[in-house]
């Protein structure tokens, strides 16, 4: 129960040495198609034919770990319970406290069913929890209980957005959360609870649901910051003399991430907007003020995503124009060299460079290349060639072909 | 009446050996235009001039097969009736049970008219059933009966989305379904009914209408999964050294499928959204909870389709950039070879390579190519050529033209 | 009064021998800009300065022909009246029947003014009728009368969408329609009226207004079918070895048609949607059921148009990629020939092919091309050239440049 | 007070001799950026730091001319008043008439202030009038007075849309209009008032506000007609053999006009739509009927603009494809000539064309180019060359490179 | 307390000598990705893990300067207070006046907390103030107090839009503003207050909140004007003979600015639109009239931004077409030179230019190049070459390749 280190996690730094990024074991070698979407479709296919509300534990699900945080203005009790019965007993023993039941990992069907029963959760909701592909949403159930789904994002060093589902159920004096991983982005909130000055502890348990939503949204920004840094890095490299391979590939890959991020955040914003329209007996005005703040934050995250999306379009245009420019440059080299040497070769071909040759026996015919028999013939032709070269270079210089133009 | 095998059908695997795909007997050789749309327009043209609500059996319609599933909490009776009168008798004999009348195939006009009459269906609705091109929709008729249309999709191995119409009419204690094929995607639902633990059997017959909708939506995901796999396969092949022919063709063809899929799913989502807004006496709250779940699933399917659509755009950009790159490479080969050999040819042309030739009788004129008369003339020119080659190769290497750049 | 042949008109077949299509007398030679739009703008310019509601007969308007169809459940009387007074008398003589007054052609101002007065039509409405460029719309006037405008489409063999306006006014026991042409797409409806089993005859005259709308919408599908066939034809021809000239031109021309079609159908859908929201005293529920069906049909027509529009985008991308591919192929031919022969020419140039030449008097200098004096010199150089050719062909084959790549 | 000639102004004809259009004194040489927008921004910058509602006369504003038209069913009095006091007196003298006070030119601040005071106008409204950059809008002020802004367009022969603001204030029995120019598009309305059959004169003064709006909208069509004609002209010229310079420039310039036109007309439509939603005591139903007609017209104008916008996209695609085709043609010429002559040159280079040369003293070595010593050598090589040319021409002809392909 | 010079700031003029703009110390070298967005994401990352509503002073925040402007119809008192207690005393001493408390700089946490407490501000609002990345918005708090956020823009000479946050709180007789910089765009408003004729002084303090919003919106126009001027400059330069480097880069950079500007102004418009819908007890009708005017101005700013955005698209198309044209020109030079000289070289190669050579001992063979032995051989070949050149030049001239085509 020692408080863990919760220094704010810095925005991940993506190694710009990108040349290896085709080899990191993705489904496809380049990562432009949305693999997560396909995985989701496949997973939903697997559950095909089940009756609605039937609980299915996905293969590889972690064994659940159970935590209980009980608090009021002055108290804070925190424990991990290996057995659910102990947790249930502890929870029932202190009805005057507010409780956060924190379930991490889904790998125990009977436990899930007991939770469903003890806390009166609907099978369809529990199916959403375990399915792990639910968009952010809010459902009102019972009289005034809420079922909230958020998606927590993380930007991995493989340029992928990793997202996990956080499912939250509220009750009169408790909040239950489900997630499929032991690690999450909620440690900062746990630490605030452990501290002495937490406003969360003084407020009703519904505030905890807000606090969870808020932490998730706040974690969208490091992802965005990492994407922004990566974009700036890409931009710097588009024009570099020796462009890396597959630059467009990288642009499109980060575009895929941004598109996915928007797909995650839009429902989040809609969810909060729906919460703000809930009647006051479900969501009291004093908590709505906080959700209004969360709404502003989700709008800011969307603004950033839209902004980056526009940037991606610009980068793509720039890349394609640069590609065209490089072709242009190749053509210029070809044209300049051909334009200079093909005419020179012709001149050399005409004269055969047989200057000062023996006069034919009958004497040189003045119509037939008499200049070949002159002593100044060779220097004259050389000068002609030189003049041709100078003339063409001047022409190309005036056209600006000799300088680099990007 | 043996329960058929209903193991969830795996997502179809599309053979990536695509080179034959131009020869599979489509309307057009490449499958980019939406043939289904044209077929629909042609079919609607054929019914031109009929009065609204007139029933027309399409050519080639299958002879109807009639099934009746009767159930309550504890009972389940299932039978196929070759004659409609028997089915009608069986249905009337047990008013205390809930019934699913399952009509497969439309090829009997008088039967259709009897059904219309016995179950009090509107001619316009029956026209929608037989027309088979109705978008997903919901109509309320009578006092609180529903007419639901869904579109069942299948992704064939020829990269086409095959969609069939499922028409559902609800009544006080029965549900009638119409479809034009003997095969469908509802076997999993039938099997659940046959089992002992079906919640469907305990609930009102309206729940069956939900269950049918839910199964149809669930079958969108294998289609999406197959499309996603195909996209990843395409992506891997764009960069392969010997690109197959007609790559863009394939990209655009799968794009057509995705666009069609969206056209099918959008009305489905709107239909459910309309159901959720129905008054409680038509659609009780307890069933709405389930439709809300179906709504979430339809949103997920749309999310996937949108995601793939973005991917298609990226793949197209990548393809076009790669095409441009390949041209660039051709140009580089031309430029490098021309740039090296054209100047060399010029040098060879100037000297005519007539080294160590006989001095002319009057002795060599020092102005006229005296180097031809020197013993070191040939090696010197060879060295000059060698230096030119090295210089140019260095220039091209520094520009990065000698390495592959994609 | 003999019933005319009303077999459903087949979808027009567009001759794919398209090479003449630039010469068919359009405004512009290529038909990509929307000439109809310009004609409309010009027409509206001509009426500039008239007071609102002033009736203007367009030049070239046909002389009106007047038809009266009078019917009830069992009666059907049909006649063409050369004089309006006779029609008016016949109409007034049978108030117990329902009447359809069918006016074809606008070229008689005083007749129009009499109709306006006798049937109490608003000058602005009559201006809309004669202007012939009104979008589909519905106006309620009087207490519960309707003014409906529809646009009837036809797809001509010159790849143009020909559209005419059908204006419908409803009254207590009659419907008046106006159109500017003698030919139309309503013959199937007239024939149904002539038959014995017409439901139209049993229903209030408002149903006739529905039936007219429905026939117009049904005629959108042959147009769509023709466009679909044409698109498939275009697709097949994009890749043909000897592509016809102006392929993109044709793609963009049909795109213009599709865009125009959408412009016609969107207001039609909005019109019906507005009808469905009319209060029951204006539009009784029993007729609304039919308009709901017409709404579904208009949605289907829009779906088709959207689908074709996506196809057009794909075809354009395909065309441009193919264009780029053809350039690529030209470059490859150039590169292969240049890359093979330019180095060969250089080798031939170096040796001058003067093998076995006379040794110079002082004997051959071992530094100066001694190989020219060897008997094996010529075969050796020939072999060298052969090896160079083989090496390059291998290189090009391995790069896949020798096979066609589209 | 003589009625001026008001024959409807023909749609302007734009001289298609476009080569001079870069030199007509625009801000930028090519007219693609929206100069009007920049001028507007600059003007708004100039008024920076003024308090809201402060009146500023723009430099160069014309001296106001004041007209008063007074009318009822049978009367029509029209006069220009050099002094405002006379106009005011005339206006006050006949309270039983309806009046149109027509102010042209803004260049007199004190006059503007008197008008503001006498007719009880809000300073913010007056600021809108003088600012001259207000979008079309409607404000209700006082109890039921209206402030309407319209934008009058004109299409100049320099391919620019010239727009002026028409500001209209309504009162119990009068209408005041403001515009900054002496010339306008309202003469047709004035002439109708002068005539004997004007419905305007019989209707309340609010109808005049409608009539003004209607005339402005009607004048959008000549602009659209001129743009349409210009587009058709452009289309014809894209393919002409000797394409004019800067074709894309012209396409983009007219696109800018169309975009600007839409920006002007959209608010106009929204304005009328807002008028149609005004309560009946502000806008009586009998006038709304007319505004509904104006709404239809504004929708038609928007339809035309959208249509042209699509055309512009098609023209741009066509232009770019044609540009690419022209490059393709250049490459083909290069390739054909190179492919024919480079191999020929090689053959000529090999043989040196030294046929029938002296046998070397030791006799010709049978390994070394023995064909040079044969009498048939030269004709044989010439025939070989001829065959090569024929073969290549056949190859190019079969590929279709010898015919023009656009 | 001397009134500072408040002549309206002219629109900034951006130096068009753009070649240095890569070196001005941006994050990325080219400025196409939205650096501000990344900075915002990073800043929000830094505050991660803080409890909502916790105040964090950003590093480098300026020490606050405190100004108090107290006024009524006839009074105006203005002072800067180094100590907050003095300001507080002065504010409390004159409750009959209206006050503007103007806080510039955030660098003092305890001061911020005192302000929050004294003026009863919500911690979440104060967090928004200090966070400095809030979109424009309006919150109602307390009974009828407003919290308004605006974003003030400035267009720097480095082509960046510099935006600062202005936070405004209203109270019964005061307005508090916060901004993080000592310089702002509000001096014109302060000067108006100092003057004698300020309407602001006569109106309730809420009018001051409007006046602040209005000044901020008015300052959008100089930014737009500068962008417009820059665009016109860019347009002029696209076609210049020696195009500067990185032209597309500049186009995309200014596009980024326009996109950012829209992101700033859209929320501003929505904010005002929300204000206009506030109930009259929070926002009286007399002030709403003014906000309606501000709404019109924000729409105008958005119109300008949309217009420029379209222009950018056109400029990009123009640039890319010009880039393609330049390549075309390079190809033409190559083709013309190659097409002329390669055939000439072939002719020269055939004849070896050995005219009038010694007849071989056995006499010239009439089959083997007899023309070499004729006196007219050389002039004939020269003429042949001349004819070839003339023919090709004519061909190229007719194709229009010899004139410049852009």
Using a CB-CB distance cutoff of 8 angstroms, which residues of chain A are in contact with residue E342?
342
CB atoms B231 and A134 under 8 Å: no
Using a CB-CB distance cutoff of 8 angstroms, which residues of chain C are in contact with residue D306?
263
Q: How far is CA A377 from CA A366, A369, A370, A374, A386, in A?
A: 14, 10, 9, 5, 14
Task: Look at residue E248 and tell me whether its pLDDT is greater than 60.
Answer: yes
Q: Could you give the CA distance from residue B332 to residue B345 in angstroms, rounded to a whole number?
A: 20
Residue of A nearest to B10 (CA): A45
Task: Look at residue A356 and tell me whether its pLDDT is greater than 60.
Answer: no
Max mean pLDDT among A33-47, B241-255, C108-122 falls in C108-122
- The helix (run of H) or strand (run of E) holding residue A386 is helix A377-398
- Span C9-24, mean pLDDT? 46
Using a CB-CB distance cutoff of 8 angstroms, which residues of chain B are in contact with residue A129?
none
Average pLDDT value over all residues in chain A: 83
Which pLDDT band, with edges at 50, 70 and 90, does C198 fall under? confident
For residue C31, what pLDDT is reported? 80
For residue E156, what pLDDT is reported? 76
Mutate to test the interface with C, among D346, D359, D361, D392 (most CBs of C within 10 A): D346
Mutate to test the interface with B, among A31, A45, A131, A151 (most CBs of B within 10 A): A45
Q: Could you give the CA distance from residue A55 to residue A61 in angstroms, rounded to a whole number?
A: 13
Residue of D nearest to C349 (CA): D349
Of residues B327, D394, B247, the one with CA closest to residue C332: B327
Using a CB-CB distance cutoff of 8 angstroms, which residues of chain D are in contact with residue C330?
328, 331-332, 335, 401
For residue E360, what pLDDT is reported? 56
**Per mean pLDDT, which range of A341-345, B191-195, E43-47, E79-83 is the poorest?**
E43-47
Q: Residues A66-124: pLDDT tens digits?
A: 999 999 888 899 999 999 999 999 999 999 999 999 999 999 999 999 999 999 999 99
Q: How far is CA C63 from CA B86, C74, C181, C232, E226, in A?
A: 63, 33, 10, 41, 61
Which pLDDT band, with edges at 50, 70 and 90, does D60 fall under? confident
Least Cα separation, residue E123 to chain D (angstroms): 34
For residue A19, what pLDDT is reported? 43
- Span A195-202, mean pLDDT? 79
For residue A25, what pLDDT is reported? 42
Q: Residues A90-104: pLDDT tens digits?
A: 999 999 999 999 999
Using a CB-CB distance cutoff of 8 angstroms, which residues of chain C are in contact with residue B323?
321, 324-325, 328
Name the E strands within A217-296: none
**Per mean pLDDT, which range of B245-259, D78-92, D266-280 is the poorest?**
B245-259
The partner residue sitting opposite D357, judged by closest CB among E300, E318, E360, is E360
Using a CB-CB distance cutoff of 8 angstroms, which residues of chain B are in contact with residue C364?
356
Which pLDDT band, with edges at 50, 70 and 90, does A22 fall under? very low
Mutate to test the interface with C, among D223, D225, D241, D320 (most CBs of C within 10 A): D225
Average pLDDT value over all residues in chain D: 83
Name the E strands within E135-258: 137-141, 145-155, 161-170, 174-179
Q: Residues E199-229: pLDDT tens digits?
A: 788 888 899 999 999 999 999 999 999 999 8
| Burial tier of B265 (Cβ tally within 10 Å: 0-12, 13-18, 19+) | buried
Q: Residues D208-264: pLDDT tens digits?
A: 999 999 999 999 999 999 999 889 888 888 867 655 567 888 899 999 999 999 999
Task: Look at residue A143 and tell me whether its pLDDT is greater than 90.
Answer: no
CB atoms C44 and D332 under 8 Å: no
Task: Look at residue C149 and tell me whether its pLDDT is greater than 70.
Answer: yes
Residue of A nearest to E332 (CA): A335
Using a CB-CB distance cutoff of 8 angstroms, which residues of chain C are in contact with residue B145?
none
Which pLDDT band, with edges at 50, 70 and 90, does E352 fall under? low
Q: Residues C50-82: pLDDT tens digits?
A: 778 788 888 888 999 999 999 988 889 999 999
For residue B69, what pLDDT is reported? 94
For residue D244, what pLDDT is reported? 58
Using a CB-CB distance cutoff of 8 angstroms, which residues of chain B are in contact with residue A316?
317
ipTM of the complex: 0.81
For residue E381, what pLDDT is reported? 80
Which pLDDT band, with edges at 50, 70 and 90, does E328 fall under? confident
Which pLDDT band, with edges at 50, 70 and 90, does B330 fall under? confident
For residue A385, what pLDDT is reported? 85
For residue B179, what pLDDT is reported? 94
Cβ atoms of residues C352 and D369 within 8 Å: no
SS3 B36: helix
CB proximity list for E384: less than 8 A, separation 6 or greater: E347
For residue D5, what pLDDT is reported? 42
Q: What is the dihedral of CA C264, C267, C273, C276, to 10 degrees?
A: -90
Using a CB-CB distance cutoff of 8 angstroms, which residues of chain E are in contact with residue A343?
337, 341
The partner residue sitting opposite B367, judged by closest CB among A32, A352, A375, is A375
- Span A207-222, mean pLDDT? 93
- Count of pairs with CB atoms under 8 A, one residue in D, one in E: 217
Least Cα separation, residue C300 to chain B (angstroms): 7
- Count of pairs with CB atoms under 8 A, one residue in A, one in B: 217
Q: Are strands D174-179 and D161-170 parallel, antiparallel or unpaired?
A: antiparallel
For residue C363, what pLDDT is reported? 62
Question: In this complex, which chains have at least 3 CB pairs below 8 Å with chain D?
Answer: C, E
Task: Look at residue B13 and tell me whether its pLDDT is greater than 60.
Answer: no
Task: Look at residue C371 and tell me whether its pLDDT is greater than 90.
Answer: no
Least Cα separation, residue B245 to chain C (angstroms): 5
Least Cα separation, residue C87 to chain D (angstroms): 31
CB proximity list for B265: less than 8 A, separation 6 or greater: B220, B298, B301, B302, B305
Task: Look at residue C380 and tell me whether its pLDDT is greater than 60.
Answer: yes
- Count of pairs with CB atoms under 8 A, one residue in B, one in C: 216
Task: Look at residue B360 and tell me whether its pLDDT is greater than 70.
Answer: no
Max mean pLDDT among C312-326, C339-353, E25-39, E95-109 falls in E95-109
Q: Residues A34-55: pLDDT tens digits?
A: 888 888 888 888 777 777 878 8
For residue C17, what pLDDT is reported? 47
CB atoms B293 and A128 under 8 Å: yes
For residue E196, what pLDDT is reported? 75
Task: Look at residue E151 and tell me whether its pLDDT is greater than 60.
Answer: yes
CB atoms A225 and E41 under 8 Å: yes
Q: How far is CA E319 from CA A114, E249, E251, E322, in A?
A: 66, 11, 9, 5
Which pLDDT band, with edges at 50, 70 and 90, does D33 fall under? confident
For residue D371, what pLDDT is reported? 65
Q: Could you give the CA distance from residue E32 to residue B190 in angstroms, rounded to a whole number?
A: 58
Q: Residues C272-311: pLDDT tens digits?
A: 999 999 999 999 998 999 999 999 999 999 999 999 999 9
Mutate to test the interface with B, among A259, A333, A372 (most CBs of B within 10 A): A333
Q: Could you give the CA distance from residue D193 to residue D170 in angstroms, rounded to a whole number?
A: 18
Q: Percent of chain D, pLDDT > 90?
A: 42
Residue of E nearest to A188 (CA): E49
Question: In this complex, which chains have at least 3 CB pairs below 8 Å with chain A?
Answer: B, E
Of residues D306, D321, D307, D316, the one with CA closest to residue D250: D316
The partner residue sitting opposite E252, judged by closest CB among A225, A231, A317, is A317
Task: Look at residue E14 and tell me whether its pLDDT is greater than 70.
Answer: no
Using a CB-CB distance cutoff of 8 angstroms, which residues of chain D are in contact with residue E331?
327, 330-331, 334
- Span B305-329, mean pLDDT? 89
Q: Which two tokens stand for residue D302?
A: 């928007």
Task: Look at residue E369 and tell me whether its pLDDT is greater than 70.
Answer: no
For residue E245, what pLDDT is reported? 62
- D145 φ, ψ to 5°? -90, 155
For residue D283, what pLDDT is reported? 94
The partner residue sitting opposite C8, judged by closest CB among B30, B48, B51, is B48
Using a CB-CB distance cutoff of 8 angstroms, which residues of chain B are in contact with residue C295?
none
Which is more confident, C15 or B221? Answer: B221
Q: Residues D178-212: pLDDT tens digits?
A: 999 898 889 889 988 888 777 788 888 899 999 99
Average pLDDT value over all residues in chain E: 83
Task: Look at residue C373 and tell me whether its pLDDT is greater than 90.
Answer: no
Cβ atoms of residues E287 and E206 within 8 Å: yes
Task: Look at residue C316 and tell me whether its pLDDT is greater than 60.
Answer: yes
Least Cα separation, residue D369 to chain C (angstroms): 7
Least Cα separation, residue E88 to chain A (angstroms): 29
């Amino acid at each position: 129960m020692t408080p863990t280190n919760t220094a704010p996690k810095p925005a991940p730094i993506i190694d710009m040495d990108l040349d290896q990024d085709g080899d990191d074991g993705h489904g496809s070698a380049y990562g432009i198609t949305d693999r997560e979407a396909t995985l989701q479709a496949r997973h939903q296919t697997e559950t095909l034919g089940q009756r609605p509300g039937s609980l299915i534990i996905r293969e590889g699900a972690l064994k659940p770990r159970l935590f209980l945080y009980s608090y009021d203005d002055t108290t804070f009790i925190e424990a991990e319970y290996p057995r659910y019965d102990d947790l249930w007993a502890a929870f029932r023993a202190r009805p005057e406290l507010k409780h956060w039941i924190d379930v991490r990992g889904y790998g125990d069907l009977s436990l899930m069913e007991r939770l469903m029963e003890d806390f009166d959760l609907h099978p369809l909701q529990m199916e959403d929890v375990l399915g792990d592909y639910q968009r952010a949403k809010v459902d009102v159930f019972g009289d005034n209980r809420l079922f909230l789904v958020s998606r927590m994002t993380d930007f991995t060093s493989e340029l992928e957005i990793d997202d996990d589902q956080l499912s939250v159920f509220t009750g009169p004096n408790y909040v239950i959360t489900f997630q499929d991983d032991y690690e999450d982005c909620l440690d900062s909130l746990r630490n605030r609870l452990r501290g002495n000055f937490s406003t969360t502890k003084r407020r009703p348990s519904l505030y905890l649901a807000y606090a969870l939503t808020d932490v998730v949204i706040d974690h969208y920004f490091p992802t965005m910051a990492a994407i922004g840094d990566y974009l700036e890095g890409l931009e710097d490299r588009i024009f570099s003399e020796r462009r890396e391979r597959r630059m467009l590939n990288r642009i499109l890959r980060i575009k895929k991430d941004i598109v996915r991020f928007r797909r995650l955040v839009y429902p989040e914003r809609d969810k909060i907007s729906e919460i703000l329209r809930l009647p006051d007996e479900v969501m009291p005005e004093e908590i709505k003020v906080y959700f209004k703040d969360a709404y502003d934050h989700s709008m800011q995250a969307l603004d950033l995503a839209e902004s980056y999306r526009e940037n991606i379009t610009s980068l793509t245009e720039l890349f394609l124009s640069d590609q065209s420019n490089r072709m242009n440059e190749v053509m210029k080299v070809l044209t300049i060299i051909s334009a200079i040497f093909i005419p020179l070769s012709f001149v050399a071909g005409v004269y055969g460079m047989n200057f000062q040759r023996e006069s034919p026996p009958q004497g040189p015919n003045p119509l037939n290349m008499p200049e070949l028999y002159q002593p100044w013939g060779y220097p004259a032709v050389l000068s002609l060639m030189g003049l041709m070269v100078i003339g063409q270079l001047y022409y190309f210089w005036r056209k600006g072909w000799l300088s680099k133009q990007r």
